[in-house]
Amino acid sequence: MKKALTFLVVLTLVVFVGAAVAGNIVWGRLHEPYKGYTGAEQFVQIPPGAGGADIRQRLVDAQVVRDPLTLRAALRWTGSSRALKAGEYRFDRPMSAIEVVEKLVRGDVYGRRLTFPEGLTMQEMAALFESREFGAAQDFISAARNASLIRDLDPEAPDLEGYLFPETYALPRGTPAARLIAMMLDRFRATYPEALQQRARDQQLTTRQVVTLASLIEKETGKSDERPIVAAVYRNRMRIGMAMQADPTVVYALQKAGRYNGNIRREDLAMDSPYNTYKHPGLPPGPIASPGKASLEAALAPAEVDYLYFVSRNDGSHVFAATLPEHNRNVREYQVLYFQKPRAEGRAAGPANRLTPP
């Protein structure tokens, strides 16, 4: 009896020690960084609705975790078996099983970056979307024609031109164009909040007028200090009923007609298009590009100046004038005499798409 009791005690100790040793091994593997793949990075795709066994196998096959047992222990330890999110994940360093699980719980999916600069049209954005291999340009255009998405702010919008906010977006692979369009509209709404909307109402401007004006500002200058002044020129012209005479609107009209080749000819100024602000007074019927935050704000906070004209200095900046004689002198200096000087001076040609600035 005494021997049997001793045997049981010894057996219990052996089991306990064995369990402790095994527990230490598992504990160590749970927290030990591991990288079994040989390349600099490894991608793992977790499909929507994937079960636990499938997810574990994908991570093990990719050699992101050491073995199924370690991963199963990590899931049990964190209690996250049902919280793993679908998507494509990028691994580029040794990670413990716990860290891998936490990454999937956070939904830290890999996103490729797509940058839309300020001042692009829908068509140009679609071309960029396709050139970066995010999807077909036509898919982008189709999604951007869903004007119902902006109907609350702009009941007259025929499409989303001007409202697709220029920004850098991180997109998981396979993101549909419609989802990107929704993200761009969300960013626009965040940039054009109720405070700016109220300011527009106070100035008796619709959202469509604000965004259209901002798009002209965006196309005319890239200098932050000039935006409020350019805004003032156009607001002053609107106030006195003077034509906008904005070359970018003619470019847009030519683009819509499929006739733009990088230059504006004098006869183009007479083309019959509602976007031709040489022929039709006031703002064009809608935005001609997507403005950024600074241009939107400038449209509603123009400088307190009496300028009605401006002309390029051919260095990215402009010179402004309040009277036509003064403007004509500026045009002669910067658009006539400047380009008559010998090319040997090393001056680059001015903007190819301009005839006579406003």
Q: What tens digit of pLDDT does each residue of 154-210 get?
A: 999 999 999 999 999 988 877 899 999 999 999 999 999 999 999 999 999 999 999
User: Are 332 and 269 within one domain?
Assistant: yes
Q: What tens digit of pLDDT does each residue of 233-275 get?
A: 999 999 999 999 999 999 999 999 888 888 888 888 889 899 9
User: Can you give the three-state secondary structure of the chain, one letter per residue?
Assistant: CHHHHHHHHHHHHHHHHHHHHHHHHHHHHHHCCECCCCCCCEEEEECCCCCHHHHHHHHHHCCCCCCHHHHHHHHHHHCCCCCCCCEEEEECCCECHHHHHHHHHHCCCCCEEEECCCCCCHHHHHHHHHHCCCCCHHHHHHHHCCHHHHCCCCCCCCCCCCCCCCCEEEECCCCCHHHHHHHHHHHHHHHCCHHHHHHHHHCCCCHHHHHHHHHHHHHHCCCCCCHHHHHHHHHHHHHHCCCCCCHHHHHHHHHHCCCCCCCCCHHHHHCCCCCCCCCCCCCCCCCCCCCCHHHHHHHCCCCCCCCCEEEECCCCCEEEECCHHHHHHHHHHHHHHHHHCCHHHCCCCCCCCCCCCC
User: Are 92 and 43 within one domain?
Assistant: yes
Residue 75's CATH number: 3.30.1490.480
User: Are 346 and 295 within one domain?
Assistant: yes
Say whether pLDDT at 29 is over 80.
Answer: no
Q: What is the pLDDT of residue 352?
A: 41
Q: Containing domain of residue 286, as a range?
A: 220-358
Structural domain total, the chain = 3
Q: Which of 106, 128, 158 is where one domain is finished?
A: 106
Q: What is the pLDDT of residue 48?
A: 86
User: Are 59 and 121 within one domain?
Assistant: no
User: Are 327 and 252 within one domain?
Assistant: yes
In a domain, 345, yes or no: yes
User: Are 157 and 178 within one domain?
Assistant: yes
